[in-house]
A = this chain, B = another copy of it.
C-alpha cells in the first residue's frame, strides 16, 4: 500500500469574493424551460461542464455515470414525443385548479435547447462489491445525481441554463437512446445559453408551491427536536 499523506495541499477557506461566487451559483441557479437562446455551446465550454460532472464524489470512486449528448433534431423529436405522451398522462392526475395550472406550465425546452444530455448510472461499473455500497445499493445513483448538480452549478457560472425534465417513461428513453439494461437514465437535461433567469422559482411565482421556511426543517440530535434559539 502506498503512502497517501504526501499529496496534501492547502484547503483553507476561499477569499470572500470567490466564496461569494460559489454561493451566487447556488442561489441564482434556476431550472430553465423558456429562456434558452439558440446560440451554440462551444465544445470547450461543454467539455468543462462534463469535466465538472466527472469530478463529483462517487461511492468507492465508482464513477458510474455516462453522458449521452443529444443534438440530432430527429432524436430530439422522438424525445419530445415521449415527453408529450408522459405529460398527457401526468396532466390527468391533477384535479380542479391544479389541473388548469399544470396544463398552462411549460415543463421542458427539449427542442429549443441546443444541447440535451441524458446522464445515466451504470449499476455494474464497479463490479459486484463496491466500497461504500455494501449496505445501500442506491449510492451509485446518488453519485450520479451529484454529477448532475456539479454540471448545473458550473453551467450557471458559464451563463448556461439547465432544465431537468423528469416526465418520461424510462422505457421510452431507454429505447430511443439505446441504453443497456444495466444502465439507468437518471437525469434528462436541456442546456443552452440564457440572458435572464427568474429571480424566484417559477413554480412559486405561479402559485404552485412556496419556498419552505428553513428552521422547521432543521432538527437537533433527534427527529422533531428543534434547535435551541
Pairwise interchain contact A154-B22, C-beta atoms closer than 8 A? yes
Number of interface residues of A (CB under 8 A): 125
Copies in the complex: 2
When distances are taken between beta carbons in the complex, the residues of chain B under 8 Å from A54 are 212, 214, 217
When distances are taken between beta carbons in the complex, the residues of chain B under 8 Å from A152 are 57, 146
**B-contacting residues, A181-229, CB 8 Å:** 183, 186-187, 194-209, 211-212, 214, 217-224, 227
Pairwise interchain contact A22-B157, C-beta atoms closer than 8 A? yes
When distances are taken between beta carbons in the complex, the residues of chain B under 8 Å from A8 are 35, 196-199
CB-based closest 9 A-B pairs: A13-B159, A18-B21, A11-B197, A145-B145, A149-B149, A8-B196, A90-B134, A21-B21, A22-B157
Residues of A at the B interface (CB closer than 8 Å) are 1-2, 4, 7-14, 17-31, 35, 48, 50-52, 54-57, 59-63, 65-72, 75, 86, 89-90, 93-94, 101-102, 104-105, 107, 126, 129, 131-136, 138-139, 141-142, 145-146, 148-150, 152-154, 156-159, 161, 164, 166-170, 177-180, 183, 186-187, 194-209, 211-212, 214, 217-224, 227
